């Protein structure tokens, strides 16, 4: 007969609050209103980096024949 007991949570306390991850721009704690950033400024800095081409998601190389 199975006994209802605490479930294995992989060593983590399921009731413990999770600390916010740091802002990816400046490293300060993230603000819930601007997640995952700490402020509107850092959110805008990140957007500018995407729009200016500083951040790039690599794609697969194209064949010269495909370009024709």
Residue range 27-64, pLDDT digits in tens:
999 999 999 999 999 999 999 999 999 998 888 888 77
pTM of the entire predicted model: 0.58
Q: How far lies 42's CA from each of 23, 25, 28, 30, 33, in Å?
A: 8, 6, 10, 10, 12
Residue 67 CA, chain-centre distance (Å), reads 34
Q: Identify whether the C-beta of residue 2 lies closer than 8 Å to the C-beta of residue 10.
A: no
Question: How much is the pLDDT for 57?
Answer: 87
- 44's enclosing H/E stretch is helix 40-51
Question: How much is the pLDDT for 51?
Answer: 96
Question: How much is the pLDDT for 50?
Answer: 94
């Amino acid at each position: 007969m199975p006994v209802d007991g605490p479930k294995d949570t992989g060593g983590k306390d399921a009731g413990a609050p999770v600390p916010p991850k740091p802002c990816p721009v400046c490293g300060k704690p993230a603000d819930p209103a601007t997640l995952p950033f700490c402020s509107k400024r850092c959110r805008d800095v990140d957007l500018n980096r995407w729009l200016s081409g500083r951040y790039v998601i690599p794609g697969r190389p194209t064949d010269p024949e495909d370009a024709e």
